[in-house]
Amino acid sequence: MRKQLLLIMMALMPMIGYANIFRANIDGMIYSLDTNEKTADLLEGSSFSGHVKIPSTVVYGETSYDVVSISYKVFKDCTELTSVSIPSSIRNIGTEAFKNCVNLTAVYITDLESWCKIEFGNSSSSNPLAFAHHLYLNGEEVTNLVIPDGIEIVEARSFTGCDLKSVSIPASVTNIGYSAFSNCTKLTSVSIPNSVEYINGKAFAGCSALLSIDIPEGVEGIGQEAFKECTGLTSVTIGDDVTHIGSSAFEGCSNLATLEFGRSLTNISSNAFKGCASLSSIDLPLGVSEIGSGAFDGCSSVTQLTIPSGVRNITSLSFANCVSLKKVCCYIEGVPSTADDAFKNSNQENATLYVSETSLNEYKMISPWSKFGSISELTGNQENDNSGTCGENLTWTFDEDTKALTISGTGEMDNFGLTDSPWYEINKSIQSVVIEPGVTTIGRDAFIECTELVSVSIPNSVTTIGAEAFRYCGLTSLTIPNSVISIGQSAFLGCSGLTSILIPNSVTEIWHYAFCFCSNVTTLTIGSNVKRIASCALFMSGLTDIYCYAEDTPEAMWAFQDDDEIPKEIVQSATLHVPASSLNAYKSTKPWSNFKEIVALDASGIKSIDADNRIIQINSIRGEKLETPSKGINIIKMKDGTIKKVLIK
């Protein structure tokens, strides 16, 4: 008898739990109510059209229940639904909850932190933003998103399809979820802190207006399709902690022209950079051992490829359809495992392969390497020791006696990898660079780590200074002409010999890390037309005076910092000088408002900074030649021969 009673009780136990959950119709909506937890899940409704407000609580009988969930397919095919209000009590929204809600135009919330914590189902249509695109917080549309501090995970699909323009992620975040910002087609900028450890698949896929991405140290992996079809992306920097780039991570980024890999990268998965048609060179870092199938397929503008010594496997179509390929520097001793179609349709018959002397004969005998038109010994400098070409219509020469490198001709300079500029073997001998009129760009990595380079002459034909062009050079003076429009990422990073920098009126954009770690610069002058200054571009700890002539405050949220806060030594010691008419705007706009002292530019002083020879020379009261105006009396010599004394306070 006792045994039979025990069996009956065991059989009834599962039913006891379910007895606490039941369905109820409340105001035309069907809920599943949990009497133990006092929670309600929205299951269905008789009809949804127009605006629907989901309540935060419902009352059944005498009991109040918190509405915590919107279940699977609740609003599916509600084509007359135009807007929805979602309460802060919601924790989960089920798969396809808003599928085919094609006329949905607005989502209303009251608490951004609660929204950031919602777990969405396994489809983009679980989030109403996929159709509505417009998110309103307490009645105001969210376009410049600042994720609240304390959020640790940006949940999967949390802002998919939202019409955001910028995203600022706090240092509390460690993980950016799957498809978190996918198809945010108006997103132009995003700041990712070094607290983030992983960027999941499709996190920013389809963000077609995104211009550049700086993946900081701390991030260890980039998921599959993370930035796929970001067609507006022109520049990507991958931090030194990233070991893995997922399949199709940057596939279809057709305007990506500048790509910098970190030192820890070991694996590049299939199709990772497929269709990146604007890349001109690929310089893989030393740690890479595996190149996935189709990894660089269709990179049709690539002319130079550097393959490091650690690569062990090059798979099918890895470098296929690189139709402009001219030079491959392969540092692998012995022929690696290579698919026969690895270089399919990549101009092999007209390209030159450089390999080590000891492996030369092997490469000449084994396909597909043997298909290169020319196979030569790798020396580090593949041209004449002291002269050669550095662009389609550019030549260079190096004078052993004066230690001067001169670049002549017309048009664009080639972009290079870290170690494959044509003067790389003599870069520690170069003391000065003369770029003659007619040259229009200074290529990526052109003079990187020319540590003895102290002076450079840049003509007013140059419009672009490429990424890392003068990184860690020994420059002691610098004149940027009034023709330059864009200063590339890390262009002058670590040029600690500089003491002053003048950015002319022609410059509109300064990229990430452009002047970062120029630690001895005390005076910085920013021209009147700068619109955007990217993260860490002006992180210089020695600054005492910043003269900014832009009347419209430039977008510069992270410009002066390498972490989450502007270093105290900058904001406490540096004075920011701005146009008097814009003084209040600078005082109320970050990061400019962080400066302890913000003053108006002296009305009797120099109204703007020109490099067009209207002002031809600036001297101190002691007669010392100055690159930029400094505190005290400045002697200004004008083009017409007149001389003015100007007091800069």
- Tens digits of per-residue pLDDT, 154-179? 999 999 999 999 999 999 999 999 99
Task: Mean pLDDT check: name the lowest of 44-58, 541-555, 559-573.
Answer: 559-573
Report pLDDT digits (tens) over 559-600. Answer: 887 655 555 556 667 899 999 999 999 999 988 988 889 999
Q: Where residue 623 falls among pLDDT bands split at 50, 70, 90?
A: very low
pLDDT of residue 72: 92
Torsion of CA 107, 112, 114, 116, to 10 degrees: 90
Contact 528, 561 (CB under 8 A): no
Please give the pLDDT value at position 400: 84
SS3 205: coil
Checking if the pLDDT of 609 tops 50, the result is no
In this predicted structure, what is the pLDDT of residue 11?
Answer: 47
Looking at residue 25, its pLDDT comes to: 92
What is the per-residue pLDDT across 297-329, written as a single tens digit (0 to 9) for each? 999 999 999 999 889 999 999 999 999 999 999
Cite the residue boundaries of each domain of the chain with CATH code 3.80.10.10.
20-142, 387-593
pLDDT of the residue at 622: 44
In what helix (H) or strand (E) does residue 199 lie, and over which residues does it extend? strand 198-199
Question: Residue 428: is its pLDDT beyond 80?
Answer: yes
Give, in order, the Cα–Cα distances in Å from 77 to each of 26, 82, 158, 436, 504. 22, 12, 21, 65, 56
Count of helices and strands (H, E) across the chain: 6, 51
How far apart (Å, rounded) are the C-alpha atoms in residues 121 and 124? 8
Q: 371-412 pLDDT, tens per residue?
A: 999 999 876 444 445 888 899 899 999 988 899 999 999 999
| pLDDT greater than 80 at residue 602 | no
pLDDT band at 469 (very low <50, low <70, confident <90, very high): very high
pLDDT classification of 47: cutoffs 50, 70, 90:
confident
Strand runs labelled E in 436-587:
441-442, 455-457, 464-465, 486-487, 500-503, 509-510, 523-526, 532-533, 545-548, 575-578
Q: Retrieve residue 198's tokens.
A: 């992983």
Contact yes or no for 292/317 (Cβ under 8 A): no
Share of the chain above pLDDT 70, in %: 87
What integer best gives the mean pLDDT of the chain?
88
Mean pLDDT value across residues 461-490:
94
Three-class SS of 576-622: EEECHHHHHHHHCCCCHHHCCEEEECCCCCCCCCCCCCCEEEEEECC
What kind and span of H or E run contains 35?
none
Residue 247, pLDDT score: 97
Dist. CA 46–CA 52, nearest whole Å: 12
Residue 470 is predicted with a pLDDT of: 96
**For 270-381, where are the E strands, in sequence order?**
281-283, 290-291, 304-307, 313-314, 327-330, 337-338, 352-355, 374-377
At 1, list the tokens. 């008898």
**pLDDT number for residue 3:** 47
The CATH number of 387-593 is which of 2.60.40.1120, 3.30.470.20, 3.90.330.10, 3.80.10.10?
3.80.10.10
Higher-pLDDT residue of 277, 556: 277
CB 335 within 8 A of CB 362: yes
- What's the CATH number for 20-142? 3.80.10.10
* pLDDT, average across residues 425-450: 92
Q: What pLDDT is recorded for position 6?
A: 44
pTM score, whole prediction: 0.62
pLDDT at position 607, please?
Answer: 42
Determine which helix (DSSP H) or strand (DSSP E) holds 18, and give its type and residue range.
Answer: helix 2-18
What pLDDT sits at residue 10?
A: 45
Exposed, middle or buried by CB within 10 Å (0-12, 13-18, 19+), for 246? buried
As a whole number of angstroms, the distance between CA 577 and CA 647 comes to: 14
